[in-house]
Amino acid sequence: MRLLSCGLLALLLISTSQLCAAGGDWNGKRAAVSLTYDDSLNVHLDNAIPVLDAHKFTATFYLTVGYPPFGDRLAEWRAVAANGHELGNHSLYHPCDASQPGREWVNPERDLSKWSVNRVVDNLKVANIALEAVDGKKARTYAYPCGDMTAGGESFVEAIKPLFSAARGVKNSIMQPAQVQLFDIDSYMINGSSIEQLTALVDQAIAQGGLVVFLFHGVGGEHPLNVDNANHTALVEYLDQKRDQLWVAPMVDIAQYLKDEGLTDK
C-alpha cells in the first residue's frame, strides 16, 4: 500500500510538472484573455461596455485623453472604471512616427520622429494625471500608439517604465508566462474578423495554456479598423461559455499577477 501511495504521488507530481511546463497557470485557470480597446471611441461605451458588463467581464480601455469621446463623456468613463475596467493610457493625442511607410496621415505636430524622449514622458505624465482624476488610480498600463516605441530615433521604453505596470505592443502571439515582455506585450489587432477567427484564438490559447490579448478599435463602426458588433458580442458570449478554463482580466491585473507570482522577469 505504501509503495502504491508513493507511486500515485510521483504520478501526481509528474502531471503537475508537465502542466506547468505546457502552460496553464493563469490565476488558477488554464489560459488568460485580455480584451483591449484603443482610442476612446463612443462605440466602446455604447456597444462594448454593455455586453462586457452583462457577462461580468472586465477589460482595458486605452484612452487617448485629447479625443472628444473622452472629455465629452467623463462621467461614463468614471462609471466604467468603478465597475472594474481599466482606463489605460494611450497618450494625449496619439503621436506616431510619420517616417514609417503609410503614415502620411500623421499630423506633423504629432510626429514621433521629430519628438524627444522627454517630450513623450511629459505627454504621458499629463495623460496619467487626467486618468487618475477620473478613476482615482495610480496603477495602469500603456498602449503604444501605432506600436511605435521610439522618439527622434531613440527608444523611450526604459524612460516610461516608472509610469506604468506594463505596456501593450502590436506583435501577435499567444504567450506563456515566461514569454511575456511586460513592456511589449503581444496582441492581435482585430479588423473585419469573423466569429470563427475570433474564437479560434481563444481555443488556441486554451490548447497552449497561454495568454491571448485582443486589440480592438471600432466595435460596430467609428474606426477604419473595425469588428462587427454582432461578432464582438458573440466572442464575449463564447468567453462566457469557456469561463471555467479562462481568466479574463484587464492588462493591469495580468501584469500584476505575473509580477507577484514571479512568472516573468522581462
Q: Distance between CA atoms of 146 and 42, rounded to whole angstroms?
A: 20
Residue 193 pLDDT level (bands cut at 50, 70, 90): very high
Among residues 91, 154, 172, 79, which one has the least CA distance to residue 124?
A: 91
What would the pLDDT profile of 152-182 be if each residue is shown by its tens digit?
Answer: 999 999 999 999 999 999 999 999 999 999 9
Half-sphere exposure at residue 16, Cβ-oriented, CA atoms within 13 angstroms: 7
Whose grid coordinates read 493625442? 93
- Domain 27-260 fold: TIM Barrel (3.20.20)
What would the pLDDT profile of 55-87 be if each residue is shown by its tens digit?
Answer: 999 999 999 999 999 999 999 999 999 999 999
Within 10 angstroms of residue 131's Cβ, the number of other Cβ atoms is: 23
- 61 alpha-carbon distance from chain centroid: 8
DSSP bridge pairs for 211: 32, 175
Q: Distance between CA atoms of 197 and 231, rounded to whole angstroms?
A: 10
What would the pLDDT profile of 84-107 be if each residue is shown by its tens digit?
Answer: 999 999 999 999 999 999 999 999
For the chain, what's the residue count? 266
Q: Where are the domains of the chain?
A: 27-260
Q: Distance between CA atoms of 125 and 122, rounded to whole angstroms?
A: 5
Average pLDDT, the chain: 92
Residue 197 pLDDT level (bands cut at 50, 70, 90): very high
What would the pLDDT profile of 218-227 be if each residue is shown by its tens digit?
Answer: 999 999 999 9
> Distance of CA 183 to CAs 27, 73, 149, 221, 239, Å?
21, 29, 10, 29, 26
